[in-house]
Structure 1
Amino acid sequence: MTNRLSSSGRSHTEDSIFLKPEEDPVWLDEPTGADRLRDLRATAAKRSVSLGPQAGGPPGGRQAAAAAAERGPQVKAVQKTYGLVLELQRWAAVLVLSQVTGYWLFFVMEGNGPASSVYKVLQVVDFYLGCILPCNPVFGVDSARQLMTEVASTKEHHWVVLGTAGVGGAICVLMVVHMVCKWNSGCGLWPAATVSVENCDRRQSVSRQPSFTLSEWTDAQEDLMDLDPEPQTPVFDLGAEPRGEGDAATLTVTSVGLQERRGSNVSLTLDMCTPGCTEPYGYGAQLSPRDQSAKEYLREGAYPLTPALLHAWALDDQGLQAQFYETPMNFVDPKEYTYPGLVRKNRYKTILPNTHSRVILDSQDEDDFLSTYINANYLKGYGGEERAYIATQGPTVNTVGDFWRMVWQERCPIVVMITNLEEKNEKCAEYWPEDSVTHEGIEITVVTVTQEDDYSMRVFTLKRGEEERSLRQYWYTSWPDQKTPDKAPPLLELVQEVEMAREDAPATSGPVIVHCSAGIGRTGCFIATSILCKQLRTEGVLDILKTTCQLRLDRGGMIQTCEQYQFVHHVLSLYEKQLSRPAEE
């Protein structure tokens, strides 16, 4: 595949308020049935005028137009009658409610209990209905008349009865006036809450929202990440005021085209536009201004941190949020992957590999794109080391074979898994056997299983033909569901354990595979922490922003949320303290 997939120009968190790509915009000013009927009558009337005998119009067309014009008053009368019936029902409900309330208050003031007052009110209503309808009252004629006699003979609170009758009379008068006005002019005593059909004013249409907005996305829905519920995510338009809830003065806006983070999370379907061209990096690609500025930011973004600045910066929540939201996500537009059958190979159809760094599987038929495809990207390591890591999605039932093909092809010595198999929904298929299994001609055999406090480690033997290799899988299970970890040491221990295992691996070994569910959130946290720990040990300083930008150049969305970004800072702050403590002692 020679074309680069252009990145999205919208935030990864707009799913909750944006339409899906395959949906049409929804318009609040969609013509109603009355609108269409009125427009049809107007069109018919115009045609009846224009298609006279001189115009040579067909006789059938003139007759149809005349018939439509004749039916117009009848249809309008039916519509008015139907509207008046609805209005009458509303007024009748108001009248009954006022009378019931008034008589209930009267009986309560007369010393009756609330329940007995309700019973007597029902008798009063029954009496009035017996006077209006040709049927006997339910409670009996004598009982109803006796009650009404008692009401009429009461002197102390008789004003309540008179007030209730006055309110009922007023409602009846207003009802009649309102109905007459409604019939004559189409408008009652007060303007309706909605715009009248008769006038031509239309409400503002609601189509696709602006590309930059404030939205909330949580993992209670089917999260497109591998992770957890997220805080509200402000995304900033160029030169516009941020819409976040924080202090706007503390949030800076970088003048770059943000390919902002998006999220969803029910169907994991993102509404992405397609700015820019589809040429790969470094081949004379003609990017749109937005894409070009985003790529420049990712290539040049840097914020070196000394140990002292690291500790202070890790506690500056507003500063970290502003920095995180300014950094483009570099997601791939899913519309660019139009190969039939490809949907079965992606866990989330909007989390796709950036093409310039994607892993291409060996295949006997190189023209068969599906046989060479896997949702995975090569990532650079510390010092620009090429193909130090592979970030990939959690294998699905349909891609377990592809996963093991990649492990064998790339000679990977280590697999790091940072997700549970299920967290409210399936996050990853159990792609390893309990004992032994064969995938794509590769025999996978479990040798040992070691259980630690926060992860388990399995050693596999991979055999294909006469060649045999060893593979370690670290399954980190202490990342809590719907949140980032509360403690940094377990992740640090895993990073250090993987580094030692990598040093012991054969010199011919390939990259370390890291995956979670989507392969961008927790995966990005682990890989960034591993790279930055090396940088801190080697240089004494580190640049978390630069590392994040480099990871996103190779795979969009790495370190997917602000909470994760803050967590990485806390982990490295703790690691720096661990490094400096022995020196101080």
Structure 2
Amino acid sequence: RQRRGLLLEYEELRARPPAGTFHHAKLPSNLAKNRYTDVLCYDHSRVLLSQTDPDDPTTDYINANYVDGYKQKNAFICTQGPLPKTFGDFWRMVWEQGTVVIVMTTRAVERGRVKCGQYWPLTVGSTAVYGGFAVTTEAVDTEDDYTISHLVLTDVRTEQSRRIWHGQYTRWPDYGVPGGGRATPVLRFRQRVRRAQHDARQQLGDSWAGHSMGPPIVVHCSAGIGRTGTFLTLDTCAARLAAEGVVDVRGTVERIRAQRAHSIQMPDQYVFCHLAILEYAVMNGYLDSADLTGFDADNDDESE
């Protein structure tokens, strides 16, 4: 199946109506917490924050959904790029969910447009307070395609702390797909993310009583559907290929979209997922080679 067939397949997926309701996202007191008015989160899979005001049930709202990974329920939390008014809610979610790894697939500003608020301090050694949480940046490692920040998250009230690994992929443009359509840098980044989650899970030891693969990984871009959904698809498909020798990109995207509405936002992202899994298969010896003829095209679509 070449590009044309995949584009038709994607249009079939995109034409389906959402598989749930958005009542909480549409409540008047929650509307301002959504970055985009047309990117809302499902009720059935939304992440519930602890209610900070007993008289206001909407204090449990954040634009974020649980999404399953490979053989792991709620492996991910897909969310929008935090807004200044939701920085405190974002870090409260990270704290309450036990998260130790955050994946960011956007830059804060792209083509002069704000895509995400600066929700952690950039300067090494500095601390910022967001709501009831303090975030300290301990170290930063800068690679060609991504930046790793080592953070410490502290609950100001209890003074309990947790280390957070924050990986920001910086070469995924707001138009098109990363790396001129070649997936190797993204696949390497995914490998770093998986290693970070594994190492953090080991350090948690018996203090983590949930799934053996650890707490949910928080993944966001700007809207939390395009680049975010693409990363989840790559991770889930790569894990299944490694374990079973089976790939089902379409089925994976269908399942992700059933938990986070409109995931995989652009046709080129859907094509890229197939291309990336072929590259992954060759890189890891599952295929000797891959014929990529017919996959190339100018990437002229915007992706969040």
Q: Give the alignment's TM-score, normalised by structure 1.
A: 0.44
Partner secondary structure for residue 28 of structure 2: coil
Query: Residues 494 and 319 (structure 1 numbering): CA distance in 2 closer, same or farther, change over 3 Å?
Result: same
Correspondence 1:532 to 2:237: yes
1:160-196 deviation line (CA, Å, top 9, x unaligned): xxxxxxxxxxxxxxxxxxxxxxxxxxxxxxxxxxxxx
Match of 1:559 in 2: 264
1:481 is aligned, of 168, 174, 180, to 174
Q: 2:227 aligns with which of 522, 542, 547?
A: 522
Aligned runs of 1:227-238 on 2, under 5 Å? none
Q: Residue 494 in 1 paired to residue 189 in 2?
A: yes
Give 3-state SS (helix, strand or coil) of 2:47's partner.
Answer: strand
| 1:332 Cα offset (Å) | 6.3
The letter for the 2-side match of 1:530 is D
Residues 450 and 336 from structure 1, CA distance in 2 versus in 1: closer, same or farther, beyond 3 angstroms? closer
User: What's the counterpart of residue 22 of structure 1?
Assistant: none
Q: Report 1:365-384 matches (<5 A).
A: 365-366=53-54, 368-383=56-71
Structure 1 residues 323 and 522 mapped into 2: Cα distance closer, same or farther (>3 Å)?
same
> Cα offset for 1:570?
0.5
Q: Matches of 1:582 and 1:352 in 2, distance apart?
A: 39
CA gap 1:463/1:553 in 2 versus in 1, 3 angstroms: same
- Hey, what's the Cα distance between the residues in 1 that align with 2:197 and 2:185? 18
> Displacement, 1:329?
5.8
- Residue type at the aligned position of 1:419: T
What is the total number of aligned residue pairs between the two structures?
Answer: 269
Give 2:148's aligned residue. 457
- Determine what percentage of the aligned residue pairs are the same residue: 38
Is 1:445 the counterpart of 2:150 in the alignment?
no
The SS at the match of 2:74 is coil
Note the C-alpha offset of 1:349.
1.1
- Distance of aligned partners of 1:524 and 1:338 in 2 relative to their CA distance in 1, 3 Å threshold: closer
8 Å contact kept, 2:22–2:41: no
User: Following the alignment from structure 2 to structure 1, what is the Cα–Cα distance between the partners of residues 287 and 12?
Assistant: 37
1:400 to 65, 74, 87: 87
Report the Cα offset of residue 582 of structure 1.
Answer: 9.6
Larger Rg: 1
Which SS does the other structure have where 2:162 is aligned?
strand
Aligned-partner Cα distance in 1 for 2:41–2:6:
27
Flag the 1:336–1:362 CA change in 2: closer, same or farther, 3 A.
closer
Could you say which residue in structure 1 is the equivalent of 2:295?
none
Q: 1:366 to 1:528 in 2, by over 3 A?
A: farther
User: Do the aligned residues in 2 keep the contact of 1:334 with 1:349 (CA within 8 Å)?
Assistant: no
Q: Which has the higher helix share?
A: 1
Other-structure match for 2:293 = none
1:326 is aligned to 12
Q: How far 1:386 sits from its partner (Å)?
A: 1.2
Question: Contact (CA 8 Å) 2:81, 2:220: kept in 1 or not?
Answer: yes
Q: Distance in 2 between matches of 1:354 and 1:581?
A: 37
The answer on 1:504 being equivalent to 2:202 is no
Structure 2 counterpart of 1:356, one-letter code: H
Q: Does residue 1:414 correspond to 2:101, yes or no?
A: yes
User: Any stretches of 5+ residues in structure 2 without a counterpart?
Assistant: 209-213, 290-304
Paired residues of 1:437 and 1:443 also in contact (CA < 8 A): yes
The one of the two structures with greater contact order (alpha-carbon pairs below 8 A, sep at least 6) is: 2
Q: How does 1:91-106 map to 2 (within 5 A)?
A: none
Give the distance between the partners of 2:287 and 2:177, measured in 1 at CA.
Answer: 29
| AA in 2 matched with 1:482 | Y
Contact 1:422 1:428 in 2 (8 A): yes
* CA spacing shift, 1:403–1:364, aligned 2, 3 Å: closer
Checking the alignment, whether the CA contact within 8 Å between 1:331 and 1:351 is kept in structure 2 is no
